[in-house]
Structure 1
Amino acid sequence: MALFTEDRLTGDAVVFAREVAGESPVDSIVLAARMSVRRWGWDKVTMDDICAEAGVSRATLYRLFPGGRDVLFDAMRDVRRREFFEKLHSRVEGAETFEDFIVTAITVASVELRD
């Protein structure tokens, strides 16, 4: 399952990263960072917000992401980039014509990049 599927980030129910079963501590923290950024914005989110969301201590966060905010946000962007291309690939692989391929790729990219 992808870390950042829409059903885990939006909707009526509040889902905390620490409540998602089967996630590694790194995955939980990256998911918590994504959820916190959506809630507070890139500039306002703090490491304490992310720790609270993930249910981990600051020591755990910094042990797993020794560079702090920059390293964590880089990991978050890497995961999002990988998921973007996985989704793009899954959508265009069944295209029967080049035109279908291009239209689908542009549609998926525009929707995904809007988020």
Structure 2
Amino acid sequence: MASTKTATEPKGIFIRELMEARGLKNKDIAEAIGTSDVNVSRLLSGQRGLDLDWLHAFARALDVPIWELFQPPGRNGRVSGETEVKSLLKRIDGLPDEAINHVWRLIDGYVSDAE
């Protein structure tokens, strides 16, 4: 008898949206986490369960605190700004992630100091 269980995407977790906002594909995240893009696809589609270890891995790969995985991008001005700036910087060919993160920290520090 065939299984009638269908996979459903995890509700209330916005990993895919954060990836899209940053221009990242499953293979980019898989490489950062140390798994396959097929495994990332299964985790994001609900075919495989997301546990706390996977959530921490996704948060590290996306360079966000874990709580940010549970907020849609743009709900908090700082989250939206970070996502938008990093997404724009990722479009510059050859700019490494370390440089992108450094630029964001400089901008974030400047904005925080000015407030």
Which is helix-richer, 1 or 2?
A: 1
Q: Which bin holds the TM-score, normalised by the shorter protein?
A: under 0.3
Higher relative contact order (CA 8 A, sep 6+): 2
Q: TM-score, normalised by structure 2?
A: 0.26
